[in-house]
Chain A
């Protein structure tokens, strides 16, 4: 399967995503340049973590206007699988491909640590190989990962089964003490109505090798494989 990983200036985890796809999972993966509207025939797209264009404005607010994003939006609207991790999630929200927004952590500090997240739905292109209710150990590393949405959006997300991951404790409970950034309802990731676009704050691409701390992130990618 051919994957594309977008590089914006300021992207950081783009090379890690390429390494994950090519070297760890044995996929074909190509970098996609922010100035290039051509998606080079990829069948799935990753928007990586980092600080696109410096993120001196709101995170992802500049990236959504980049030439490549118009193609990514069209690709997603046509049903193509798109995964946004961390800054990629922020960009998906800014682009209107996913509902809600990400604001500063309630601690007002950047947080890097391994957290537990619970798989809330397996109906998306990226979670088909997990079991509903399964708990994963994934790292987070962000300063603006507090997911927010208005009541109507939250109701719609729940009714349409669009909440994909929640932060939980080791017993699998979505308690406030297990919420690292203050996200509403402990939400760590969401999907669109179709289930082909998924955004999450944790970094599954950093959880694909036992040597580096765990492999729980692998199936986000392998779920998409034909």
Chain B
């Protein structure tokens, strides 16, 4: 067949810069073939190469005694004892979800599941972190419905429970939503599989769905460039998922891994067959040769270029032990899945592909991996940040009706109950969900162990926009705090770093600041970063999203029956505030919702205090001293108290409390000072808890007690909790259907 001639213009059309194209030609010593140009363009894309972020990601702490696998594999792995390992990762699927919300979100779920089960782990829980534009924006309701439908449509059918997450609305995402998907799996600690190709002559086996023409250039043109008014034309670059095939693929792969047949396995995610084979060869310091004529296809006439770049879903690449081909094929045949030998491992360090007897690709593997371009792009503090950080409390009027403020806050889409979202997800399948959606963290039991795992995902991007260092540190701290109040000891996290165009110095500055803030919090809280993903170019028409370094964290509950939930349970319990409240209203939900201002600096974070609070919470949970414990976050103390009253799945309780302090009343009620928790405790346990607090020198205040049908904050409000619960529960659905 006639090959398409390659020149600089075609390289530009593939997203490569002039410098990068020159580098490519120098590397090969010749003009690339059309197929080679396609391979370089995806492997050198920001999405696959991390060329703008690589050198900064090295600043994050990634090791620890329990860390079995840090970043660089399909997912991170933590030893959780009892012979078990927790395997997890969070990943973005932002641009596909904006263009085609249902399938974009669905395939985001499918992709992260494959990253986890490819390492030998059975997925036991998924979370998601979603960011949409303002709720009144004309596209928001349709995008939210599509994304939630896609997550549910895929996750429910594939049979992995979606047990929690977060949903936020901010005009900064009007033109670029975020869909970050997380999956946690459990594997035997001594049966971990890695994505490596080794052993000359070992067969390379393709399994799963046939290859079609979907998702071509998803990684390079969709994920690695800004949006504009032509982005709709990229819809063919969005893949379409098939959760049924994924469901049987999971079972077949896990069955395969119980035998001793394979060297390595990797899913075909971004950049499909190309990246999976190149990355496996790279990790095994080997070469790989593929015969593209043998790749199963959905239709005739698919070109080698398309075969190399297709991002068709539900496909895996396996390097098997020589002679085990038939055994591998049989495992997949049981599940009616195709497994075909398409190539073999070589020792020449080259990625080569054959098509109708001709070699159409011949590239040194290292040129696509370790020798790919890497940049230290210029960074500069945004010129307007200092002005945005100003907040003059002297000119901020005090509200006249605090009960009305509380009701308004609890019915904003950001703080309203997310029940409308999570009731569309199967959060029970698998039979491990101990704490269902609606509390600070989800808690999963581990069959065959007394332990449980807590999981939480967090990021306040308003904080990050106004101070990316502090905002990112708080994302780590809050995620850990959500675990600690649930009785889980935080151990490791996966990050999904969503930012604008890194070629802009202001975006690069935000990114570097966020990395440094995360590092500080991780080091102080002794939490390692074991996996993650960077998503740049989240911009439309030159407008970048607020920096959003999402943190998904995993913690261990040593005895799962000692987990804690956030809602009040028993009338007569004491209500106690752990930590201290300062006069901090900057970057708060109160300021944004009531005063329509997004300014000031986010609250301070004292990492030593934070660590102390978390240690005390984990200890008190273990000793069974909490009836409930709830992180104080957006909306402050009043919202946290209200949530403790109304978020119980089956009942509503009141509380009578008195708040003391000489702060402005709105700061006292709605300020978002960090390192605080609202706990309730049985009177009989109070002496023991008090002794624990004194021993650790953690400041606390007894606020009042649980009981009655009203939330009464002395001097400020008395509000019926049953009515408040109804408003909070229905607010999101109401605002969506008003569209």
Q: How many A-B residue pairs have CB under 8 A?
A: 87
Q: Which of B426, B432, B561 contacts A110 (CB 8 A)?
A: B426
Asked if A20 is at the interface (CB within 8 A of a chain B CB), the reply is yes
Q: How far is the CB of B331 from chain A (nearest CB, A)?
A: 14
Asked if A94 is at the interface (CB within 8 A of a chain B CB), the reply is no
Interface residues of A in 100-115 (CB under 8 A from B): 109-114
Residues of chain B within 8 A (CB-CB) of A96 are none
Contact B157 A54 (CB under 8 A): yes
In the complex, residue of chain B having the shortest beta-carbon distance to the beta carbon of A14 = B159
Asked if B717 is at the interface (CB within 8 A of a chain A CB), the reply is no
Contact A10 B434 (CB under 8 A): no
Docked Cα-Cα span, A206 to B424, in Å, equals 17
Contact B431 A20 (CB under 8 A): yes
Question: Using an 8 Å CB-CB cutoff, how does the interface string of B431-475 with A read, 1 for contact, 0 for none?
Answer: 111101000000001010000000000000000000000000000
Residues of chain A within 8 A (CB-CB) of B432 are 212
Asked if B335 is at the interface (CB within 8 A of a chain A CB), the reply is yes
Question: Using an 8 Å CB-CB cutoff, how does the interface string of A41-73 with B read, 1 for contact, 0 for none?
Answer: 000000001110111100000000000000000
Asked if B659 is at the interface (CB within 8 A of a chain A CB), the reply is no
Asked if B427 is at the interface (CB within 8 A of a chain A CB), the reply is yes
Docked Cα-Cα span, A143 to B426, in Å, equals 10
Q: How far is the CB of A7 from chain B (nearest CB, A)?
A: 9
Interface residues of B in 135-161 (CB under 8 A from A): 149, 152-153, 156-159
Docked Cα-Cα span, A212 to B443, in Å, equals 10
Asked if A120 is at the interface (CB within 8 A of a chain B CB), the reply is no
Contact B156 A110 (CB under 8 A): yes
Residues of chain B within 8 A (CB-CB) of A15 are 430-431
Question: Using an 8 Å CB-CB cutoff, how does the interface string of B365-382 with A read, 1 for contact, 0 for none?
Answer: 000000000000000000
Q: Which of A10, A139, A206 has the most CB of B within 10 A?
A: A10
Contact A16 B431 (CB under 8 A): yes
Asked if B347 is at the interface (CB within 8 A of a chain A CB), the reply is no
Question: Using an 8 Å CB-CB cutoff, how does the interface string of A200-212 with B read, 1 for contact, 0 for none?
Answer: 0001011000011
Contact B423 A51 (CB under 8 A): no
Docked Cα-Cα span, A213 to B433, in Å, equals 9
Interface residues of A in 106-134 (CB under 8 A from B): 109-114
Q: How far is the CB of B206 from chain A (nearest CB, A)?
A: 20
Q: How far is the CB of A97 from chain B (nearest CB, A)?
A: 24
Q: Which of B149, B156, B248, B428 contacts A9 (CB 8 A)?
A: B248
Docked Cα-Cα span, A56 to B445, in Å, equals 32
Residues of chain A within 8 A (CB-CB) of B445 are 211-212
Asked if B560 is at the interface (CB within 8 A of a chain A CB), the reply is yes
Contact (A54, B424) CB under 8 Å given A9-B335, A110-B156, A114-B649: no
Contact B424 A9 (CB under 8 A): no
Asked if A75 is at the interface (CB within 8 A of a chain B CB), the reply is no
Asked if B242 is at the interface (CB within 8 A of a chain A CB), the reply is yes
In the complex, residue of chain B having the shortest beta-carbon distance to the beta carbon of A23 = B447
Q: Which of B149, B158, B428, B431 contacts A112 (CB 8 A)?
A: B428
In the complex, residue of chain A having the shortest beta-carbon distance to the beta carbon of B437 = A112
Residues of chain A within 8 A (CB-CB) of B427 are 112, 141
Contact (A141, B247) CB under 8 Å given A211-B434, A211-B445, A212-B434: no
Asked if B228 is at the interface (CB within 8 A of a chain A CB), the reply is no
Question: Using an 8 Å CB-CB cutoff, how does the interface string of B146-180 with A read, 1 for contact, 0 for none?
Answer: 00010011001111000000000000000000000
Q: Which of A19, A109, A112 contacts B426 (CB 8 A)?
A: A112
Residues of chain B within 8 A (CB-CB) of A50 are 159
Contact A10 B247 (CB under 8 A): yes
In the complex, residue of chain A having the shortest beta-carbon distance to the beta carbon of B252 = A9
Contact B428 A54 (CB under 8 A): no
Looking at chain A, what size class is its interface with the partner chain? 20 to 34
Q: How far is the CB of B725 from chain A (nearest CB, A)?
A: 15
Residues of chain A within 8 A (CB-CB) of B447 are 19, 23
Q: How far is the CB of A140 from chain B (nearest CB, A)?
A: 10
Docked Cα-Cα span, A213 to B650, in Å, equals 11
Docked Cα-Cα span, A54 to B154, in Å, equals 11
Interface residues of B in 565-588 (CB under 8 A from A): none
Docked Cα-Cα span, A44 to B336, in Å, equals 28
Asked if B716 is at the interface (CB within 8 A of a chain A CB), the reply is no
Q: Which of B243, B248, B428, B650 contacts A206 (CB 8 A)?
A: B428
Contact (A211, B560) CB under 8 Å given A9-B335, A112-B423: yes
Docked Cα-Cα span, A143 to B247, in Å, equals 18
Q: How far is the CB of A77 from chain B (nearest CB, A)?
A: 29
Q: Which of A19, A111, A139 contacts B424 (CB 8 A)?
A: A111
Docked Cα-Cα span, A212 to B561, in Å, equals 10
Q: How far is the CB of A208 from chain B (nearest CB, A)?
A: 9
Residues of chain A within 8 A (CB-CB) of B429 are 12-13, 16, 49, 141
Contact B424 A109 (CB under 8 A): yes
Docked Cα-Cα span, A139 to B436, in Å, equals 12
Docked Cα-Cα span, A112 to B336, in Å, equals 30
Asked if B402 is at the interface (CB within 8 A of a chain A CB), the reply is no
Q: How far is the CB of B699 from chain A (nearest CB, A)?
A: 34
Q: Which of B426, B427, B560 has the most CB of A within 10 A?
A: B426
Residues of chain A within 8 A (CB-CB) of B153 are 110
Contact B247 A139 (CB under 8 A): no
Q: How far is the CB of B399 from chain A (nearest CB, A)?
A: 35
Contact A51 B431 (CB under 8 A): no
Asked if B425 is at the interface (CB within 8 A of a chain A CB), the reply is yes
Docked Cα-Cα span, A23 to B650, in Å, equals 28
Interface residues of A in 1-22 (CB under 8 A from B): 9-10, 12-13, 15-16, 19-20
Q: How far is the CB of B570 from chain A (nearest CB, A)?
A: 17
Contact B428 A203 (CB under 8 A): yes
Contact B431 A19 (CB under 8 A): yes
In the complex, residue of chain A having the shortest beta-carbon distance to the beta carbon of B563 = A211
Q: How far is the CB of B77 from chain A (nearest CB, A)?
A: 23
Q: Which of B149, B156, B245 contacts A141 (CB 8 A)?
A: B156
Contact A10 B560 (CB under 8 A): no
Docked Cα-Cα span, A53 to B242, in Å, equals 11
In the complex, residue of chain B having the shortest beta-carbon distance to the beta carbon of A109 = B424
In the complex, residue of chain A having the shortest beta-carbon distance to the beta carbon of B432 = A212
Contact A56 B244 (CB under 8 A): yes
Contact A54 B436 (CB under 8 A): no
In the complex, residue of chain B having the shortest beta-carbon distance to the beta carbon of A11 = B159
Docked Cα-Cα span, A56 to B423, in Å, equals 22
Q: How far is the CB of B471 from chain A (nearest CB, A)?
A: 33
Q: Which of B247, B428, B433, B436 contacts A51 (CB 8 A)?
A: B247
Contact A53 B244 (CB under 8 A): yes
Contact A206 B423 (CB under 8 A): no
Docked Cα-Cα span, A133 to B156, in Å, equals 32
Contact A9 B560 (CB under 8 A): no
Contact B152 A110 (CB under 8 A): yes
Docked Cα-Cα span, A15 to B427, in Å, equals 16
Docked Cα-Cα span, A211 to B451, in Å, equals 13
Residues of chain B within 8 A (CB-CB) of A203 are 428
Residues of chain A within 8 A (CB-CB) of B560 are 211
Docked Cα-Cα span, A22 to B560, in Å, equals 21
Contact A112 B247 (CB under 8 A): no
Docked Cα-Cα span, A143 to B154, in Å, equals 13
Q: How far is the CB of B103 from chain A (nearest CB, A)?
A: 15
Residues of chain B within 8 A (CB-CB) of A54 are 157, 242-245, 247
Q: How far is the CB of B436 from chain A (nearest CB, A)?
A: 7
Contact B157 A141 (CB under 8 A): no
Contact A111 B436 (CB under 8 A): no
In the complex, residue of chain B having the shortest beta-carbon distance to the beta carbon of A139 = B428
- What are 25 A-B interface contacts by the 8 Å CB criterion? A9-B336, A10-B244, A13-B429, A16-B429, A16-B431, A19-B431, A23-B447, A49-B429, A50-B159, A51-B156, A51-B244, A51-B247, A54-B157, A54-B244, A55-B157, A55-B244, A110-B153, A110-B425, A112-B425, A112-B426, A113-B423, A139-B428, A143-B156, A206-B431, A211-B560
Beyond A9-B247, A51-B157, A141-B426, 8 extra complex contacts between A and B, CB < 8 Å: A12-B426, A16-B430, A51-B244, A56-B244, A139-B428, A203-B428, A211-B561, A212-B431
Q: Which 3 A-B pairs have the closest CB atoms?
A: A54-B244, A12-B159, A16-B431
